[in-house]
Amino acid sequence: MNPYILTILLFAMGLGTTITFASSHWLLAWMGLEINTLAILPLMCQSHHPRAVEATIKYFLTQATAAAMLLFASITNAWITGQWNLEFMSYSLPTTLVTVALALKIGLAPLHAWMPEVLQGLDLTTGLILSTWQKLAPFYLLLQINPSNTSLLLILGLASTLVGGWGGLNQNQLRKILAYSSIAHLGWMILVLQFFPSLTLLTLLMYFVMTFSLFISFKVNNSTTINSLSMSWSKAPIISSMVPFILLSLGGLPPLSGFMPKWLILQELTKQSLAPLATLAALSALLSLYFYLRISYAMTLTMSPNILLNALPWRLPSNQHTLPLAITTSLTICLLPLTPAIITLLTL
């Protein structure tokens, strides 16, 4: 892509999210979301492959629907209460509608159907931007509004963790697995939104770090299926040995960083007398763990039959920039002991 156009689009994406962050008026927040959506669309269909165009169209339709619902809800709220402020949504209908619209925007179950197909049509970098940056603005809005319907958020959260677990079970396409993993993690974030919003932010940031590591590891290996990952030991042996840790961190196993959000969420849910819900969520995390382990089994724990020619790439020096990957992998693995400091930082 023309570097000027690429710069403009990336700046526009940043601008959209920043406008939403800076807004206290619903119209400005909606505008930020729309700018964000429109800016990423050309990035998504850069390659002009029919599947990429299909993914772009599906993404556009779902995001436009969600933005329209959001605008409708905010106008309804303005009509009833007479004010456009983000924090003062006191009636249940607009609040519920906003929650559902934002759930569609980020891909929570049962509004998740677009996510695997859209991610499958994109290349790994754009998929990374979709999974991480595009979630920031909707989450900011979710954190601002006072949820009127406590059970709606819990239903959305639990459904997402279950769907994310079950849906990813038999995939062999990595991007679809990452989509279902995203749905599951978003479910965890939503579960605790109304009780301890800082934990939502913590889970979101931890998810960003872990997903970034995983996407970039797959990009370094240039692989989009589980089978093609089996050759990563010859391309980048160190990355192949670190990826199981990233995957286990995504699965939420101690002593890795991914355990931190899950532990704190389960603790908070138990404090709120929602122990059965916490149990169900923890059990659904096992489903996700199964397909994470499957990826690490294919990548690191087994060696696929191959010819000698394919065992030699590690000998050649690589020009890939792996510094971001190194940083995020270290954070993914080693951040658990800093839990008290992070909690203090987020609850300031």
Partner 1 sequence: MSLPKISRVPASRLLSAVHDPRWPLRSAAPLAVPKRALTQSGYRRPGQPREDKPPWQRIKFDFSKGLEGITKHFKLLRQEFSDRLVGPEGKPIIEHMLEQNRVIWEFRGPDSLQEWTLSSDREIGGQSEIHLKLGKNNETCFLYGTLQSAPPRDGETRYSGYCSMRSKQPLVSFDRKKHHDWSSFNTLHLRIRGDGRPWMVNIAAESYFTHQKDDLYSYFLYTRGGPYWQDVKIPFSKFFLTHRGRIQDNQHPLWLDKVNTIGFTLGDKADGPFQLEIDFIGVCKDYAHTEDFAYEVYKRNPEV
Q: Smaller CB distance to partner 1: residue 54 or 268? A: 54
Smallest gap from Cβ 286 to partner 1, in A, equals 15
| Beta carbons within 10 angstroms of residue 329's beta carbon | 25
| Beta carbons within 10 angstroms of residue 244's beta carbon | 17
Strand partners, 25: 85
138 upstream amide cis, omega within 30 of 0: no
Is residue 231 within 8 Å of residue 310, measured between CB atoms? yes
Q: Smaller CB distance to partner 1: residue 47 or 81? A: 47
Smallest gap from Cβ 307 to partner 1, in A, equals 5
Smallest gap from Cβ 219 to partner 1, in A, equals 16
Q: Smaller CB distance to partner 1: residue 308 or 348? A: 308
Smallest gap from Cβ 227 to partner 1, in A, equals 4
Smallest gap from Cβ 231 to partner 1, in A, equals 9
Q: Which two tokens stand for residue 225?
A: 């299926």
Smallest gap from Cβ 54 to partner 1, in A, equals 4
Q: Which two tokens stand for residue 31?
A: 């505008």
| List of residues 6+ apart from 306 with CB closer than 8 A | 230, 231, 234
Q: Smaller CB distance to partner 1: residue 18 or 320? A: 320
Q: Smaller CB distance to partner 1: residue 263 or 297? A: 297
User: DSSP readout, 114-144?
Assistant: HHHHHHHHS-HHHHHHHHTHHHHHHHHHHHH
Smallest gap from Cβ 171 to partner 1, in A, equals 7
Is residue 246 within 8 Å of residue 260, measured between CB atoms? no
Q: What values do phi and psi take at 143, rounded to 5? A: -70, -25
Q: Smaller CB distance to partner 1: residue 212 or 292? A: 292
Residues that bind partner 1 (CB under 8 A): 47-51, 53-54, 57-58, 120, 169-173, 224-227, 230, 294, 297-298, 302, 304-307, 309-310
Is residue 134 within 8 Å of residue 40, measured between CB atoms? yes
CA 31, CA 19: separation in Å to the nearest integer? 8
CA 266, CA 254: separation in Å to the nearest integer? 14
Q: Smaller CB distance to partner 1: residue 172 or 320? A: 172
